[in-house]
């Protein structure tokens, strides 16, 4: 959780991601930010996020991002 | 068959009657028959191109699905390491099929739509060495909506590859998706999963839903015939004889062309969406009050939405997750300390492909590519300067959340889009440069009257007010059509009569009481 929050802060500073419930739907992250975030997550957790994973449900909360990362780590 | 013609109206009417009379399980067959009839009457033998593309993606998707099913069957019996190996092996095979099929359908598009453009490039390079053209010009006829159905076909097979949908076993259902007559003329770009689900649902005659669609058709006809076609009658003359006019005329022409293109394209999409709604099928949204946008990014999320969505899904994301992108990202991270610059370079790299494709999709010419890159450069400039303009705004005590600043942002976007439209309307880059320069050097306000006749001006002003009001109401999240349906009888029928009679009386008609061709149908 903490690592994901650090990465989010690096991609887009000054946003309260911790309490956000609709990061993508509320426009806190746009598709360009998502791409940056995916690059960072891939590097940090050694996972491969696929195009099919790039849906708002996987990025709307920090919890959802963590769950996606865990699922992809498990798949490997 | 123009979608604003009486023939189209009769065609939709007959299809509509048969659609609701026939047993519901055959409703999709009615739509398929109508779509094929629509396609054949417009494209005759060229329909074979569309059938070929459909066959390629149908069999390709089936091949991909076969490997997916094989993996699903075998994976339970295998331990994890072997399962991974098998997955990789089968994925490679699926990828080969995908690449081959996409290459074939794109090749058909390139050979028909872009061959003279590519030939021109080859001849241009060859002209360094020889004075004669290496490649001749071909006069190739294009089937209806090739740019639209090709990209939708690519989306179908890619979605099967990604596993978001299963390959269809009935080729006729894929054919219906590809040639569905409401979206074949000028989009929107639908996704197979969204449409097929609705094609399979039985649709009973629902008066409210049909009215909901019919109001949209009437409003679309109003925008297309009263506004767009009226401007279309006098504006081309202005651009053709631009040397006789001043920069003021160019400015008015630019604004009117933007208005025309928006009324034309969104009007046609409204007609198409409304017709489809009358069959109980909702096509993808294509416009969301684009001229209320505060930035260029936002404008393109509200204008031709389905093209933007297609480019995001099938160009932006794949490029962003590609090995190339990773290399660029790693390289910049290694050599540049600033997170802002790293982010900027990687995004600039990816978005270049998106905007290049956006421009190229509009037409086989350098001008359209420049048109796409015009937005790319402006967007990148905005992205690059964002932290600095934020700092500057803080220093100057400008509240970026204020109403005044929002108005400034909207006005800025409108200006940028209008200049983009002037580029889009110009025949060559030189002409654009000439027109753009003229706006600042030759000012004569009297030219206003020489371009627009008084009666045209009044009609356009009314049209503008109607569109603005509808836009404001929709922007507030109100479903204006539902509001109208639920409203009292008098108001409702006043609106119906206004739309109907203003279109009949004030519409600008050509020969045979038909409207002008839809501008975006040529792309």
- Tell me the residue length of chain A: 76
The residue of chain B with its CA nearest to that of A52 is B162
Q: What is the mean pLDDT of chain B?
A: 88
Q: Averaged over B489-496, what is the pLDDT? A: 86
Cα–Cα distance list, B212 to B8, B158, B463 (Å): 19, 33, 21
Which candidate in B316, B345, B349, B394 is best for mutational testing of the A interface (most A CBs within 10 A)?
B316
pLDDT at B519: 65
Return the closest-CA partner of residue B269 out of B210, B186, B209: B186
Return the closest-CA partner of residue B37 out of B186, B181, B196: B181
Which chain B residues have a beta carbon less than 8 Å from that of A54? 317
Please write the tens of the pLDDT for every residue from A16-49. Answer: 888 888 888 888 888 888 888 898 898 888 888 9
What is the C-alpha separation between B287 and B517, in angstroms, rounded? 20
What is the C-alpha separation between B133 and A18, in angstroms, rounded? 63
Residues contacting B79, CB < 8 A, separation 6+: none
What is the C-alpha separation between B355 and B315, in angstroms, rounded? 10
Longest dimension (CA), chain A: 33
Are B326 and A10 in contact (CB < 8 Å)?
no
pLDDT at B55: 97
pLDDT at B196: 95
Cα–Cα distance list, B160 to B193, B198, B200, B282, B311 (Å): 10, 18, 18, 22, 17
Are A49 and B297 in contact (CB < 8 Å)?
no
pLDDT at B26: 94
B483 or B133: which leads in pLDDT: B483
Residue B237 has pLDDT above 80, yes or no: no
This model's pTM is above 0.80: yes
| Interface contact A36, partner B, CB < 8 A | yes
Q: Averaged over B426-444, what is the pLDDT? A: 84
| Banded pLDDT at B514 (limits 50, 70, 90) | low
Please write the tens of the pLDDT for every residue from B76-86. Answer: 888 878 888 88
| Interface contact A72, partner B, CB < 8 A | no
- Residue B1's H or E segment, with its range, is none
| Interface contact B318, partner A, CB < 8 A | yes
Task: Look at the alpha carbons of B466, B230, B299, A49 in this order and tell me if their dihedral is positive or negative.
Answer: positive
B133 or B23: which leads in pLDDT: B23
Which chain A residues have a beta carbon less than 8 Å from that of B321? 38, 49-51
Please write the tens of the pLDDT for every residue from B136-195. Answer: 777 777 788 898 999 999 999 999 999 999 999 999 999 999 999 999 988 899 999 999
* B303: three-class secondary structure by DSSP: strand
| Interface contact A20, partner B, CB < 8 A | no
What is the C-alpha separation between A58 and A24, in angstroms, rounded? 9
| Banded pLDDT at B510 (limits 50, 70, 90) | low
Structure tokens at B334: 């290694």
Our CA-based measurement puts residue B97 at a distance from the nearest CA of chain A, in whole angstroms, of 18
| Interface contact A27, partner B, CB < 8 A | no
What is the C-alpha separation between B147 and B159, in angstroms, rounded? 19
pLDDT at A63: 92
pLDDT at B360: 86
Q: Averaged over B84-112, what is the pLDDT? A: 92
Please write the tens of the pLDDT for every residue from B26-78. Answer: 999 999 999 999 999 988 888 999 999 999 999 999 999 999 999 888 888 88
Cis peptide leading into residue B489 (ω within 30°) = no
Domain count, chain A: 1
What is the C-alpha separation between B471 and B270, in angstroms, rounded? 13
Domain carrying residue A18:
2-75
Our CA-based measurement puts residue B15 at a distance from the nearest CA of chain A, in whole angstroms, of 37
B242 or B433: which leads in pLDDT: B433
Q: Above pLDDT 70, what percent of chain A?
A: 99
Cβ atoms of B183 and B148 within 8 Å: the answer is: yes
Please write the tens of the pLDDT for every residue from B206-227. Answer: 988 899 999 999 999 999 999 9
| Banded pLDDT at A15 (limits 50, 70, 90) | confident
- For chain B, helix (H) and strand (E) counts, in that order, are 24, 0
Are A11 and B343 in contact (CB < 8 Å)?
yes
Please write the tens of the pLDDT for every residue from B123-152. Answer: 777 777 777 777 777 777 778 889 899 999
Cβ atoms of B296 and B312 within 8 Å: the answer is: no
Q: What CATH number corresponds to the domain at position A51?
A: 1.10.1200.10
Structure tokens at B69: 């099913």
What is the C-alpha separation between B295 and B318, in angstroms, rounded? 25
Cβ atoms of B122 and B130 within 8 Å: the answer is: no
What is the C-alpha separation between B375 and B370, in angstroms, rounded? 9
Residue B278 C-beta-side C-alpha neighbours within 13 Å: 24
What is the C-alpha separation between B106 and B461, in angstroms, rounded? 43
Residue B523 has pLDDT above 70, yes or no: no
pLDDT at B300: 92
Please write the tens of the pLDDT for every residue from B374-389. Answer: 999 999 998 889 888 8
pLDDT at B320: 87
């Amino acid at each position: 959780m903490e690592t994901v929050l650090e990465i989010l802060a690096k991609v887009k500073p000054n946003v309260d991601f911790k309490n956000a419930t609709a990061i993508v739907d509320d426009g806190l992250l746009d598709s360009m930010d998502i791409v940056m975030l995916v690059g960072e997550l891939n590097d940090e957790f050694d996972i491969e996020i696929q195009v099919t994973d790039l849906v708002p449900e996987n990025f709307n909360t920090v919890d959802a991002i963590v769950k996606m990362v865990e699922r992809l780590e498990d798949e490997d | 068959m123009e979608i604003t013609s009486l023939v189209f109206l009769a065609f939709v009417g007959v299809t509509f009657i048969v659609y609701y009379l026939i047993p519901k399980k055959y409703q999709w067959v009615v739509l398929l028959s109508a779509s094929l009839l629509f396609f054949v009457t417009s494209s005759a033998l060229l329909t074979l191109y569309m059938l070929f593309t459909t066959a390629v993606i149908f069999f390709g998707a089936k091949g991909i699905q076969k490997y997916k099913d094989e993996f699903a069957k075998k994976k339970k019996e295998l331990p994890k390491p072997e399962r991974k190996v098998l997955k990789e092996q089968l994925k490679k095979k699926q990828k080969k099929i995908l690449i081959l099929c996409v290459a074939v359908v794109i090749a058909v598009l390139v050979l028909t739509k872009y061959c003279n453009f590519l030939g021109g490039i080859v001849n241009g390079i060859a002209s360094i060495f020889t004075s004669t053209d290496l490649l001749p010009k071909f006069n190739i006829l294009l089937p209806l909506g090739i740019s639209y159905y090709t990209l939708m076909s690519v989306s179908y097979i890619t979605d099967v590859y990604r596993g978001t949908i299963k390959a269809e076993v009935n080729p006729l259902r894929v054919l219906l998706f590809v040639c569905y007559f409401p979206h074949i003329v000028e989009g929107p770009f639908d996704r197979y999963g969204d449409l097929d689900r609705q094609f399979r649902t039985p649709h009973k005659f629902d008066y409210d839903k049909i009215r909901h669609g019919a109001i949209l058709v009437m409003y679309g006809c109003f925008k297309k015939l009263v506004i767009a076609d009226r401007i279309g009658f006098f504006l081309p003359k202005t651009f053709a004889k631009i040397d006789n006019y001043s920069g003021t005329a160019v400015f008015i022409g630019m604004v009117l062309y933007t208005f025309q293109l928006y009324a034309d394209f969104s009007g046609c999409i409204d007609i198409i969406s409304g017709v489809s709604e009358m069959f109980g099928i909702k096509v993808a949204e294509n416009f969301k009050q684009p001229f209320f946008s505060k930035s260029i990014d936002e404008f393109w999320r509200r204008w031709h939405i389905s093209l933007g969505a297609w480019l995001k899904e099938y160009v932006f994301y794949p490029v962003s997750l590609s090995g190339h992108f990773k290399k660029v990202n790693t390289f910049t991270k290694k050599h540049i300390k600033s997170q802002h610059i790293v982010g900027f370079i990687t995004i600039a790299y990816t978005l270049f492909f998106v905007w290049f494709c956006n421009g190229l999709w509009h037409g086989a010419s350098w001008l359209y590519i420049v048109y796409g890159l015009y937005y790319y450069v402006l967007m990148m400039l905005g992205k690059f300067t964002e932290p600095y303009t934020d700092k500057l705004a803080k220093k100057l005590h400008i509240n970026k959340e204020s109403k005044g600043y929002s108005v400034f942002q909207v006005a800025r976007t409108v200006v940028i889009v209008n200049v983009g439209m002037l580029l889009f309307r110009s025949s060559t880059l030189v002409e654009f440069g000439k027109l753009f320069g003229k706006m600042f050097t030759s000012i004569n306000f009297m030219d206003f009257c020489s371009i627009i006749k008084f009666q045209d001006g009044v009609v356009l002003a009314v049209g503008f007010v109607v569109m603005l009001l509808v836009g404001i109401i929709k922007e507030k999240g109100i479903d204006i059509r539902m509001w109208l349906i639920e409203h009292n009888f008098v108001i409702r029928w006043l609106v119906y009569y206004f739309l109907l009679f203003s279109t009949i009386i004030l519409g600008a008609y050509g020969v045979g009481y038909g409207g002008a061709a839809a501008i975006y149908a040529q792309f």
